[in-house]
Amino acid sequence: MINLSFLQDFPKDFNFGVATSSYQIEGTMYGNCGKSIWDDFAERKLNGIDGKLACNHIEYFKEDIKLIKDAGFKAYRFSFAWPRLFPDNNKDVNLKGVDFYKQLLEEINNCDLEAFPTIYHWDLPIRFQKIKGWEDQETCKHFGELSFFISKTFGDQFEKISTINEPWCVSWLSHYLGEHAPGIKNIQSAAKTMHNILFAHSQSVEALRSCNDHQIGIVLNNQFGQPIDSNEENIQATKLFDEIHNRWFSDAIFKGKYPELALSILEKYLPENYKTQLELISSPIDWIGLNYYTRSLIKYKKSDDGVDYECNSGTLKKTDMGWEFYPEGLSYFIKRINKEYDNNIPIYITENGMANNDKLSLGNRIQDHDRIEFFNVHLKEVLNCVNEKLPVKGYFAWSLLDNYEWAFGYSKRFGLVFTDFQNFKRIPKNSYYEFQKYLK
Ligand code: GCO
């Protein structure tokens, strides 16, 4: 029987937690929340399937925090919704929004959980669309102001904070592949946002440092690229994939430069002073978050814009997203951060988990064996790294609840806890109980 009994072999101070994000769980119809680019994208591209209700976490947050505590987790990663704090403009704060996050943080702390807030997890207020969102550095300046506000208003309730969740998704996935809001597909927008989202990070770090004594991080999603075969052109294509998906962000943060191949394609679209801005972008951070899900098999494919590759999937066991189980990639990236970028920086696995087509069975049990297996094989990689004395300090399962899985709406279930979207009932799955067995 595959189980998680080896959780007991982790050091006592290793931080196990769960992660969520604002738009995916809160429900925008509650508490005077403003509109974001996701509401607009959902209306235009997703038949209106949006985060209006989501998990109604706004009304159920106490129950949700209790679920986290009762499973024996010690930390909770969540995000602030910018349009909930500033629904209409960049000046007038929504007191209901402030009040919600105050209560949430109080509840987290009362339950002896460590709060790991993220400032930006993709719900950009719709008003920024007028200036093309992250394509304009005005947005980055306002993001700095938001960061200052968050630190000043809530900063005594947490120690660690991250600026941005998955800059690759904010930029490439949303402005080149067009799969996420705002759904743009062009290389120029993509290149600009690849840089600007990192510039926004730098504005946030500066604001946070000026306000409080936080431990600041950023959360990167790394995906393992493997050449589909040993053909030289596929090997080169994989290198480009790795630079665009992964190294663009880590090279900028840790080395203050962009990787060569990707730069040769994107440089012409970057602002003239991008090198000066890279100096700010690479100002030191205190920890790094790594989100990891899967690998891709990369094949050369000619394109007009120089992005000459395509991503394929192989024959390994797959999740309901069609993503292959490839746990080796997780330890690969932990080691890469440690060996190639910074051999001291604390590493937190800030997301890892799988979508599964979960169904209620008799007696309201949810037998999500595959998810337990997914956690088993990935956590073993993490434990090996810990045993090799790599500075991995925590692991957050994605996600606490089945929630709004972006372009897939409510059809993909990532939760340790099942959400009944008709009545907001929460039903812990077997994977939840498996963590509980060994964490409590
Ligand atoms: C992510 C996101 C999550 C997704 C998860 C599964 O950071 O990619 O944080 O919002 O739901 O990754 O796709």
Residues 176 and 306: their CA atoms lie apart, in Å, by 13
351 is catalytic: yes
Concatenate the DSSP letters of all residues of 348-378 into one string: EEEE---------BGGGB---HHHHHHHHHH
Q: What pLDDT, on a 0 to 100 scale, did the predictor assign at position 361?
A: 82
Question: What tokens does 65 get?
Answer: 């925090």
Q: What pLDDT, on a 0 to 100 scale, did the predictor assign at position 298?
A: 99
180 neighbors 41 (Cβ within 8 angstroms): yes
Catalytic residue, from 107, 324, 351, 434: name it.
351
Q: Which atom of ligand 1 is nearest to the CA of 121?
A: 9
Q: What pLDDT, on a 0 to 100 scale, did the predictor assign at position 146?
A: 98
pLDDT below 50 — which residues of the chain? none
Is the CB of 26 within 6 Å of ligand 1? Answer: no
Residues 311 and 218: their CA atoms lie apart, in Å, by 26
Look-up of token digits 């037998």: 367
Question: What tokens does 296 get?
Answer: 């891709």
94 neighbors 85 (Cβ within 8 angstroms): yes
Question: What tokens does 436 get?
Answer: 């509980």
7 neighbors 439 (Cβ within 8 angstroms): yes
Dihedral sign for Cα 229, 230, 231, 235, please.
Answer: positive
Q: Can you name the residues that pair with 291 across neighbouring β-strands?
A: 221, 351
- Nearest residue by C-alpha to atom 6 in ligand 1: 405
- This prediction has a pTM of 0.98
Residues 354 and 303: their CA atoms lie apart, in Å, by 32
374 neighbors 434 (Cβ within 8 angstroms): no
Look-up of token digits 């982790």: 10
Architecture label for domain 5-439: Alpha-Beta Barrel (3.20)
Question: What tokens does 239 get?
Answer: 């290198």
Q: What phi-psi label fits residue 4: left (phi over 0), alpha (psi between -120 and 50 degrees) or beta?
A: alpha
Q: Which atom of ligand 1 is nearest to the CA of 122?
A: 10
Neighbours of 156 (CB within 10 A): 10
Catalytic residue, from 166, 324, 381, 434: name it.
166
Look-up of token digits 């995906």: 223
Domain ranges of the chain: 5-439
Counting every residue, how long is the chain?
440
Residues 218 and 189: their CA atoms lie apart, in Å, by 22
